[in-house]
């Protein structure tokens, strides 16, 4: 199909992102009501807000390519307009092949046009199949990909099994979940049904969402005798995004399953703790205030950042000229620090609200915690969040002390 043979039967425009130019639906034309979500109303899915997601993906995949030091193949099985896969082929060095796919015929035609528009037809292959069918066709050892990017509108769960099987040993799985209402505890039954874990509507629910998603992937992969290792993740606006490297073998799968557990939480005093298995402890009272506790899980309770990978991503960011460079630099720096931090975080405003006291500055909280020999780290999940090994009652004491006797 040449450029001259393509004619869209819907309003469209040409946009520039990164190093590519692509034709996309003109979203304003599909927004009839103020509450309408234009990307889902358009005949081909395209969301300009996800540019940040695409930028981070390019940096993460480039970091991975440099770490394994060889040519790579990438699959984007839910491509929409094709912008993501086209950027992978154009902007990532060491890419041998990119396969993009969409079951929507209009998406397929538009993606094909955009591939030709960027003169990438020798490196990008366009498919018109069901995503699971495409991935399953690449489950044989010599047909597998180095990277599979599952980036749906909604939950990635329907594609995880085939995505894992379509990856080479030590390959990278990147997956996005935009259905945060179930994962963050608004729709508990939906989360249990889709992800196999109970959520909890806490101040750190976005971290729990990441851990529930990873727990789901680990469980799916283990059935194929595959283990997972989380190297990076981020939470941004309406979605969470996780990057995991897989490893073949029953021992690695068993290790992943052993990394699943539960979080116990007290909504009265904010006490939280990790439990490796279901026990009578789930029904005991909070050890700090005596209130009834609630729980989330099973979910991944091991590390969700790899410091080496975070640094590699940060280095790639310094080599590029994205609109989002400053935002990505901050994310990478926070993620690298979080790699050393305890699981979950306290939101200082939440504690202050409970105590009916003024909200202390983050710098004062960090200093006081460290002065009292506690770990203290900022988190990318919440600008008012602090990761620390300090107990909840100590956090309340410190918040109250700073509020009544400010140190800054």
Alpha helices in 118-238 (DSSP H): 131-137, 157-165, 180-183, 188-195, 205-222
C-alpha separations of 88 from 176, 188, 365 in Å: 17, 36, 41
Topology annotation, domain 3-255: Rossmann fold (3.40.50)
Give the strands of the sheet with 272-275, arranged side by side: 272-275, 260-265, 294-300
Q: What's the CA gap between 76 and 319, in Å, rounded?
A: 24
pLDDT of 104-145, one tens digit each?
999 999 999 999 999 999 999 999 999 999 999 999 999 999
Q: How far apart are CA 115 and CA 198, in angstroms?
A: 42
Q: Which residue has the tokens 């080496």?
A: 308
Neighbours of 260 (CB within 10 A): 23
- Per-residue confidence (pLDDT) for residue 240, from 0 to 100: 98
CATH 3.10.450.50 holds for 345-408: no
Residue 102 in contact with residue 79, Cβ under 8 Å? yes
CB contact set of 8 (below 8 Å; sequence gap of 6+): 23, 106, 110
pLDDT in tens, 165-223: 999 999 999 999 999 999 999 999 999 999 999 999 999 999 999 999 999 999 999 99
Instruction: Dump pLDDT digits (tens) for 353-396.
Output: 999 999 999 999 999 999 999 999 999 999 999 999 999 999 99
Side-by-side strand order, sheet with 72-76: 124-127, 95-101, 72-76, 145-150, 167-177, 239-248, 226-236
Q: How far apart are CA 152 and CA 154, in angstroms?
A: 6
The β-bridge partners of 297 are 198
Q: Where in the chain is the domain with CATH 3.40.50.150?
A: 3-255
> Residues 258, 215: contact at Cβ < 8 Å?
no
Q: Which ranges in the chain are annotated with CATH 3.30.56.70?
A: 345-408
**Averaged over 283-305, what is the pLDDT?**
95
- Compute the average pLDDT of residues 16-27: 96
CB 266 within 8 A of CB 289: yes
Banded pLDDT at 2 (limits 50, 70, 90): very low
Across 77-191, the runs of DSSP E, i.e. the strands, are: 95-101, 124-127, 145-150, 167-177
């Amino acid at each position: 199909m040449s450029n001259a043979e393509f004619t869209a039967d819907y309003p469209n425009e040409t946009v520039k992102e990164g190093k590519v130019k692509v034709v996309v639906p003109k979203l304003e034309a599909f927004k009839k009501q103020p509450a309408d979500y234009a990307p889902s109303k358009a005949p081909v899915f395209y969301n300009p807000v996800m540019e940040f997601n695409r930028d981070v993906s390019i940096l993460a995949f480039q970091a991975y390519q440099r770490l394994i030091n060889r040519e790579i193949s990438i699959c984007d099985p839910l491509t929409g307009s094709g912008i993501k896969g086209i950027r992978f082929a154009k902007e990532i060095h060491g890419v041998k092949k990119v396969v993009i796919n969409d079951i929507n015929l209009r998406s397929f035609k538009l993606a094909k046009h955009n591939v030709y528009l960027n003169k990438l037809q020798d490196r990008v292959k366009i498919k018109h199949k069901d995503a699971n069918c495409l991935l399953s066709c690449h489950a044989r050892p010599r047909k597998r990909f180095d990277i599979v990017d599952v980036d749906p509108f909604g939950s990635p769960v329907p594609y995880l099994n085939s995505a894992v099987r379509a990856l080479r040993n030590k390959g990278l799985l990147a997956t996005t979940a935009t259905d945060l209402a179930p994962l963050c505890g608004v729709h508990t039954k939906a989360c249990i049904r889709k992800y196999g874990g109970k959520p909890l509507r806490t101040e750190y629910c976005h971290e729990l969402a990441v851990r529930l998603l990873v727990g789901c992937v680990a469980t799916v992969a283990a059935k194929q005798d595959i283990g997972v290792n989380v190297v990076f993740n981020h939470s941004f606006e309406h979605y969470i995004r996780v990057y995991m490297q897989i490893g073949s073998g029953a021992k690695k799968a068993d290790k992943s399953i052993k990394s699943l557990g539960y979080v116990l939480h007290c909504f009265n005093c904010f006490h939280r703790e990790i439990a490796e298995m279901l026990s009578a402890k789930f029904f005991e009272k909070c050890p700090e205030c005596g209130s009834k506790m609630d729980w989330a899980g099973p979910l991944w309770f091991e590390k969700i950042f790899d410091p080496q990978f975070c640094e590699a991503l940060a280095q790639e960011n310094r080599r590029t000229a994205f609109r989002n460079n400053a935002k990505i630099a901050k994310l990478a720096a926070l993620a690298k620090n979080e790699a050393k931090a305890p699981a979950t975080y306290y939101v200082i405003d939440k504690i202050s609200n409970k105590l009916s006291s003024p909200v202390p500055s983050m710098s004062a909280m960090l200093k006081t915690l460290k002065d009292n020999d506690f770990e203290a780290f900022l988190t990318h999940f919440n600008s008012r969040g602090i990761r620390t090994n300090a107990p909840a009652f100590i956090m309340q004491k410190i918040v109250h002390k700073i509020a009544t006797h400010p140190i800054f």
